[in-house]
Amino acid sequence: MGNQQTNERQRNHKVCKITSIDEHSGWIRCHLDDDVPYSNGERRYMDFETDTTLNVLEGVSVMFLNYSGPMQASLREGAHILIDTDTTREYESSHNFSRRSVTNLNELATSLPGEGGLQGLIEEIIAAREMRARANEWADFAKKSNEA
């Protein structure tokens, strides 16, 4: 009787927008609009492995075999990605993550039930971040005005 509780803990996630991308030999750095927690502190970027043979095979399987398993994220400027922060905290900021370790929100939103899916939530998160930034600007302005 009563409530049934499970011992499964919900994973912590964070939505970030890719603001720019730096491509290097063997890895890609995505600069983000918010901090990502790592074992050695927070950073506004996340590094990923570059294309591999597995990526090519996945592309072929999607085109010809209707593969529907976990897909790698498309990393492009302006894209919103869902990051598992419990996973990032296990690694240093120099770790190169797999593209499967994050999810593109635009693709995830289409598979969620309800009006707007996750897209409405993304817009709310973006609006909340903008409001927080404006509130911080006003707080800084007020602090400087009081010091003068």
In a domain, 124, yes or no: no
In a domain, 29, yes or no: yes
Q: Is the pLDDT of residue 50 over 60?
A: yes
Please state whether the predicted TM-score (pTM) of the whole model is above 0.75. no
pLDDT digits (tens, 9 = 90+) for 104-136: 876 544 444 444 455 556 666 777 777 777 887
Are the C-beta atoms of 89 and 39 separated by less than 8 Å?
Answer: yes
The boundaries of the domain holding residue 82 are: 13-114
In a domain, 132, yes or no: no
Output DSSP code: residue 114: S
Domain count for the chain: 1
CA distances from 141 to 7, 128, 133 (A): 46, 20, 12
In a domain, 22, yes or no: yes
